[in-house]
Structure 1
Amino acid sequence: MKFRPFWVIVHRYTGLAMAVFLIVVGLTGSLLAFYTELERAVNPQLYVEANHRKALDPIALIESAERLAPQARVEALWINPDAAQVSVAPRQNVQTGQPYALDYDQLLIDPYTGEELGRRLWGAISQGMINLMPFIYKLHFNLALDEVGMWALGITALVWTLDCFVGFYLTLPAKLWAPQQDASAALAFWRRWRRAWGVKWGASAVRVNFDLHRAGGLWVWGVLLVFAWSSVYMNLGDSVYNKVMQSISEYHQPWTEFADLPQPLENPAIDLKAACRLGDQAMARAAAAQGFSIEAPVGIWLNRAKGFYVYTVRSSADVQDHAGQTRVVLDANSGEQKLLLLPSGQFNGNTATSWLMALHMANVFGMPYRVFVCLLGLIIVMLSVTGVVIWSKKRRQV
């Protein structure tokens, strides 16, 4: 195959370029599969037990946050059984005309009593162990480098997605089997390809390293592709993922449907609590019309750049084990419903994205899949390290 040496070089050097990034995301991803358990161990004061209690409604939790942090305004609320997370921004000091100086942007609140559990500048490791797991999350998402890191990992994810197909092609025998050939040709093809799936443990260290790289990539190839493409969604959503999905399926997101306002909306006519009431009513109407059931409110957040609220619940349309992504979008000035988005059964592109994210976040199929995702992170590290070793050996031979 005259193109094979070219793709070998492409695979070798793209893998080399991605190696450090994939080692970081692999190691951090292994930890994030057990984010809540690890943070509970490090910061038990930030979590409570449900004990069959019913959580306060979103409006009561917003009022609690406003009472606890009068110098902050609530931007978003997310309700979990073990903690309510409130994102805040500084209010303006009427005496100075400047925003208050806050050393936190997140409040954690007992979802059953409304009392404070803690506050932190989310992800700032300088604040100590209270931000250990958020910092690991930021490393995984953007190398803790904000937009620069997000672009770096986004480009890595896109290259990784394409390289998944190159790597798969390179595992195939040089002489490919064509569907029009007879059964004996197919059997011969599978016998040759079968070697790529195994590791010859008794061979030299160089051969074992090569086999681990080739066979390890084949063993989890489909899942690697899922994680690579879902990473494109998280880091290059607007520039790549959304365009691709919209070109092949019906796919909608609030940040792609509506243009930015000329100026960010500082004082919406509908406040957050009123938006919760309107969102609850709109979701009840949608459930009756679309035939899904509402299980619990999950949260609400304000997009000031585009001027809308997103009210979220968990419903029978969700695919995740917990939390939820059933959303209604409301105009922040008029309260008008702008969009209803179900995680499954509405738009094919959104259903596929819901599954991609549930798989990536280890939020489906229970504990066995979370253990698998933890191990997958280590496999990604192994593939990166063995790839670098292969490159190093080839370089010495030149």
Structure 2
Amino acid sequence: MDPGSVIAAPSLSLSGSPDYPLPVAANSNIHAIIGTDEGRVKEEALRLHRELTGGNDDGFTHETIDGTADNSDGAFEICKRVVEALNTLPFFGGEKVVWLKSASFLVDDVTGRSERTLSGVESLKECLEAGLGNGVTFLLSATGIDKRRAFWKWLQKNASVKSYDKIDTTRDGWEEEVAALVEGRARDLGLSFEDDALELFVIQAGEATRQIGAELEKLDLFLGKERRTVELADVRRMVPMTRAGIVFEIGKALQTGDAARALELIDRQLEAGENAIGLMRASIIPTVRNLFMARVVAETGVPTGNYKAFAGALDRLPEIQRAWLPQKKAGGVNAYPLFLSMGAARAFRIEGLRKVMESALKADKALVTTALDHRLVLHRLVAEISSAAKRR
């Protein structure tokens, strides 16, 4: 692909929605890679730089300028150096790439709002507006930019722009987006995940692509060439356990009726000073609720073998049947946690799960309003959940 043409957006945006290519001038020699996902921005900027330079940067033909500024004077000087580099033709002729790398002064902070900084950025914009010399290409990478400023608006209209933002983990359904990202990167390494292993990996590694990449590389090395499928035990062994991971593991143990595992994790967290109410509301209650909802949904006959078909079927249910299900902020049923609970939900009867939900409510109230031993309250509830599954 011609590096001067529009760079196609990836099919999945890291900000939770598809990336769409912004309008750019034909054969643009100005490129900008922006986004809050620092690892992805650096990775893509380096890839594009190698593409533009042919991988041949001898230190004389092309120039890379560090965009990290400690203050407004530093930002002004960086812009000045970039302008000088853009106006200086290659010593040996040919093409030249000027990379303003990891610019830190384009965001809305004290340095970014300074008149000195704005003056420097304006001079850079004027240089780009005047047109670059034949064979000169400008590449900008930054993990943040004030999109109210004229410089950003000019880039939108005149440069090839790609944006990579972190997935918003405060939004419902973020796990689904991260799972798609993980599976894509795993395929590049020739890896595949068992379902349970993928669920835990998503929770443990989080949404940052740099962390995801590092953990996948560890798994790749650990598995070697003989085995290419990541199992749950591999994730537990190789990916550092986080609080979110422990919360997930407690829920998973409850779903599968592994009371011993759930109690072990709960005791470990309580001994570490974790709040019992926090464990109840972050893990146990959501697990029980999802199991109950999944069991009710299963009675409607929706397909459960394929996630897309499952999610589509839920959205097509009559309003009265889906209004009580978890909803995404953007609209539609948040199907992902229900889909993950479908298999485990089959081990329970609806009546049993209804009683378990009542027990969870009583246990939560006991933790908040009574002086009962918190460990005892949680242990009793785990026993009830496990018993409900066995009676199936």
TM-score (norm. length: structure 1): 0.25
Structure number with greater CO (CA < 8 Å, separation at least 6) is 1
Name which one, 1 or 2, has greater alpha-carbon Rg: 2
